[in-house]
Structure 1
Amino acid sequence: MISLIKRPIKHKFAIISFTISSLFLSGCASKINEEQHQQLLESFIERADVASSLSGMDESNWWHQFDSPQLNQLVNLALVKNHDLKTSQLQLKSMLARLGAQKAEYLPQGNITVSAERSSLAETITSQSSANIGVDWQIDLFGRVTALVDAANASAMSKAEQLRLLKVEIVSSVVKGYISYQGNLENELIISQQIEALKQSIDVLKARVDEGVANELDLNRTKAQLSQQQALLPAIKYAQYRDLSTLALLTGQFTNEMMLTEKTGFLSSDLAVEIADPNNAIALRPDINQALFNFSQAYSLSVAASKALLPNISISGFAGVLGLNNTRLVDTQQQWQVTPQLEWSLLSYPALIAQKDAQQFLSEAAYSAYQQVVLKAINESELSLQFLIKQTNQHSYAQARFKHANNAFLQAQAMYQEGQIPYLELLDARQDVLIAEKNNIDTSISSLIAKVSTYQAFNGHWSQQLITEH
């Protein structure tokens, strides 16, 4: 069994920061217990058997193994034009702007005021002008502003991880949709071939019935099989349209704009599932990182709520000039004022304590949610491996079944031509081949989708490349 993250947890945060350096996010949301975080992950892995034998090459751009330029183009198009992705990117930019606004709280705030006044009272006209600079500086003596900055930073980091998670889902969905579409095209081809073969058989049987060599039962059984195969075509056509609609939505297009072609032998593609570092690929999953930053944000807000119980120290002041009896700032007099201020909300203590307790509970809830996400990620990874084994075995059996059914049909054809078996037995053999061939295609589709789901579960490394490349 492979243990998770033998390197220090600080290396993990360095990787996360690097992946979104293009977004000007540096560092991680601080004030969390990194040692506790590392111990939690390792304790979960010690009780789990995740990918103990799954290791190999770097999984970056794993969908290139299909050797399909059309699929690669769809993935690239989805990463550029998907509207959900654009929405998430804009939301991330908004959070980065809010982070910048929160960091500005470290600096003095103020304004510049220029005014001129002219008034009349009892036929006496007076004029006055002034120009002032007002400054208000809240001194972060007890760290409340720092805690709010940490919370804003964690919120932005969480959104960045959500963006990475969305890219994982989009890429996986595009590949799955393309596999399904190619599978349905192959299903349609096979059904069409079978329909043509049955029509030819019906023509032969009609002639033999007319000659008195065959009976109406054989002819009607063949017509029944023909109708059964023809009834499958509308469902196949709808499935193809559904796949196109899914791919169109993922790539930001209308369904009638999708122009996909059949790739012969696509279902036979040898998609190997190889993960360079399976356990680390779980630890770096964006959903785990997102939950971690959500906890960090809640913790920082809890710290800020605690700091609200302490005095608030600020310095305010202004400097300017005052012009009496003129509106043009001439013959002015200088004026200034500095006001240190200590504000302590002692009478609001009951409300502040309640707010602190509420935020503390939210912080504990966020940590519990983080634990649940870690556990879910490990279970999901294990389940994806079991599903992969199941689908691989089923596909192997389906291939063997089709091989044997096809051999039986060829034997039945030869025996029928020699008059050793009746035509109904030949029809039964043909039906067995149809069922086995359809099952072989369906298990091929399911096997490939299971492999994609495995890459989707172990996405920690290849999803980071999506951030750096797109």
Structure 2
Amino acid sequence: MMKTLINSNLKSNVSIMFKNKVHIVAAVMLSALITGCASKINETQHQQLLESFIERADIASNLSGQDELNWWHRFNSAQLNQLVDAALAKNHDLKTSQLQLKSALARLGAQKTDYLPQGSISASANRSSLADAISKESTANIASDWQIDLFGRITALVDAANASAMSQAEQLRLLQVEVVSAIVKGYVNYQGNIKKEHIATKQIEALHQSIDVLQAQVDEGMANELDLNRTKAQLSQQQALLPEIKYAKYRDLSTLALLTGHFTNEIKVDENSEVLLSQIAVEIIDPNNAIALRPDILQALYKFSQANSLSVAANKALLPNISLSGFAGILGLNNTRLVDTQQQWQVNPQIEWSLLSYPALLAQKEAQEYLSEAAYSEYQKIVLKAMNESELSLQLLVKQNNQQSFAQERFKHANNAFYQAQAMYQEGQIPYLELLDARQDVLIAEKDNIDSSISSLIAKVSTYQAFNGRWSRQLTAEK
């Protein structure tokens, strides 16, 4: 079972286990099946489905601790917090999604107006001449048409529009999760590349000093050119790493700039190597809800609800359409100023049944039912994918914690070996080349330790990204 805290000090005593995976999948299928029985999913039904899901699922039940809201604050970096805030405020993908959500809400409002009578108000004046006879006429009237939702077709269409708006809201939340996670990962990678650049620069400086020493020894006949050439080869190898590291730094900076809505030359990120030493623990107060409330799961649920509502509307289209139309107005003869008018009105109840269009309506009904089944299948896939992602994130977290502990041990031993080699060289027990190799080993071990620290932090970010249901909802609430 997962311990209460998962941090870099956990080693082999940490293990992950998902209990009753068959029951989890069964709960998912059951919740989707219940969903398919209704023409829409309102908040009460939705909450009942989630509660039913949580009761039957046991997702990392012991992965608990402090609240994960604003988890990136645990890095204790004001600069990182500012980048996250800037991304949430200025990211263009988020702005686009917000506008699309407003459009979906507007379409929902427009769809709801179908419950009300539709109509127009008109006024006109007419003056004409025929065979020197001039005629005048003026009219003003109100015309209306009311589609009576006796069989629930309009309700089904409103439900579909509502589900579409809710789906778009979850899409916005999903983008927020991706943006926040990408900002934190980009920031960690950037700080790691700065540290690796320092290590490579330090190694190059040390190799230059070694070459100067070896060149003097070769000139004096105290060393051979083999050692000198091997040292120069190591120097070229380290120098070749710098362009790659500089490009990686620029790539990370470019990613952060894009996410925050800037050009790369407009953003500046200060060095903060302390981030790489962050001993943050992955703590999630309610892992079941953190999975069940993931925006991708809810988005798939709302898409299924939308398809199901459209399927209901297609079924209702096979039934008669009942409407009530009419108009009321005034008519002015022999004048164009609506004086000396006469009243006129008309009421026209109507039943229309598209019997001759039945083959086409049946085909549309069948097509929409297939789309509903496809949305149900997609929902199942999304839920299973979320399960797999959460499990993999936990397994990756354990792997990276273990690897980081090994990398730290390697760096410690390589550092001790270098000091020992330095003392032995000063006493004349080993040649200079062995001292050089020991120094090379410790610098390589230090670089690998940095890589391991970066990977461990990224794994923690990925875990929060997988268990995002609660903290992503909090971001939406703050907006």
**TM-score calculated relative to the size of structure 1:** 0.91
Is 1:428 aligned to 2:427, yes or no? no
User: For residue 167 of structure 1, what is the aligned residue in structure 2?
Assistant: 176
- Is the aligned partner of 1:401 residue 2:401? no
What is the CA deviation profile of residues 134-175 of structure 1, one whole-angstrom value per residue up to 9, with x for unaligned ones? 011111111110000000000000000010000000000000
Q: Name the counterpart of 2:148.
A: 139
Partner of 1:357: 366
Match of 1:230 in 2: 239
How has the CA–CA distance of structure 1 residues 64 and 223 changed in structure 2, closer, same or farther, with 3 Å as cutoff? same
Q: Is the contact between residue 88 and residue 94 of structure 2 (CA under 8 Å) also seen in structure 1?
A: yes
**Structure 1 contact 165–286 (Cα < 8 Å) conserved:** yes
Tell me the SS of whatever aligns to 1:461: helix
8 Å CA contact retained: 2:117, 2:146? yes
Superposed displacement of residue 203, structure 1: 1.8
1:240 alignment partner, SS class = helix
What's the offset of the Cα at 1:419?
Answer: 1.0
The aligned amino acid for 1:204 is V
The one-letter code matched in structure 2 to 1:252 is: G
Alignment-derived partner of residue 110 in structure 2: 101
Match for residue 303 of structure 1 among 312, 316, 320: 312
User: 1:441 aligns to what?
Assistant: 450
The runs of at least 4 aligned residues of structure 1 exceeding 4 Å deviation read: 1-5, 27-43
Alignment of 1:244 with 2:278, yes or no, is no
CA distance in 2, matches of 1:283, 1:2: 16
User: Would the aligned equivalents of 2:333 and 2:340 in 1 still touch at CA under 8 Å?
Assistant: yes
In structure 1, C-alpha distance between the alignment counterparts of 2:103 and 2:208, rounded to whole Å = 63
Q: 1:40 to 1:70 in 2, by over 3 A?
A: closer
Q: Is the 8 A contact 2:193 2:245 kept in 1?
A: yes
Cα distance, 1:206 vs structure 2: 2.2
Aligned to 1:469: 478
Q: Kindly state the Cα deviation for residue 435 of structure 1 after the two structures are TM-superposed.
A: 1.8
Query: What is the CA distance between 1:356 and its match in structure 2?
Result: 1.1
Q: Distance in 2 between matches of 1:146 and 1:32?
A: 17
| Cα contact 1:28–1:157 (8 A) shared by 2 | no
Q: 1:157 aligns with which of 145, 163, 166?
A: 166
RMSD: 2.2
The residue that corresponds to 2:332 in the other structure is: 323
Q: Is 1:113 aligned to 2:99, yes or no?
A: no
Answer yes or no: is 1:210 the counterpart of 2:219: yes
1:194 and 2:200 correspond = no
**AA aligned opposite 1:192:** T
Cα offsets for 1:287-307 (capped at 9, x unmatched): 000001001001110111111
* Distance in 2 (alpha carbons) for counterparts of 1:243 and 1:149: 45
Q: Secondary structure at the match of 1:165?
A: helix
Q: Which amino acid aligns with 1:105?
A: D
The corresponding residue for 2:421 is 412
- 1:356 and 1:207 map into 2 onto residues whose CA distance is 89
- SS of residue matched to 1:64: helix
2:272 to 263, 283, 299: 263
Is the 1:32–1:296 Cα contact (8 Å) retained in structure 2? Answer: no
Aligned residues: 448
User: Which residue does the alignment assign to 1:15?
Assistant: none
Change (3 A) 1:356 1:109: same
CA distance in 2, matches of 1:247, 1:426: 41
Query: Higher mean Cα deviation, 406-415 or 319-328?
Result: 406-415
The residue aligned with 1:79 is: 88
Alpha-carbon contact 1:2-1:279 (below 8 Å) kept? no
Query: Counterpart amino acid of 2:472?
Result: S
Residue type of the alignment partner of 1:363: S
Distance 1:161 1:2 in 2: 28
Gaps in structure 1 of 5+ consecutive residues: 13-26
Q: 1:67 aligns with which of 61, 71, 76?
A: 76
**C-alpha separation in 2, matches of 1:83 and 1:327:** 56
Q: Which residue identity does 1:155 align to in structure 2?
A: S
Q: 1:37 to 1:301 in 2, by over 3 A?
A: farther
Retained in 2: the 8 A contact 1:31–1:300? no
Residues in 2 aligned to 1:462 and 1:40: alpha-carbon distance in whole angstroms: 19
After TM superposition, the structure 1 stretch with the greater mean CA deviation from structure 2, 447-456 or 261-270, is 261-270
Q: In the alignment, which of 109, 119, 127 is matched to residue 136 of structure 2?
A: 127
State the distance in 2 between where 1:309 and 1:352 align.
Answer: 7
Q: Note the C-alpha offset of 1:52.
A: 3.6
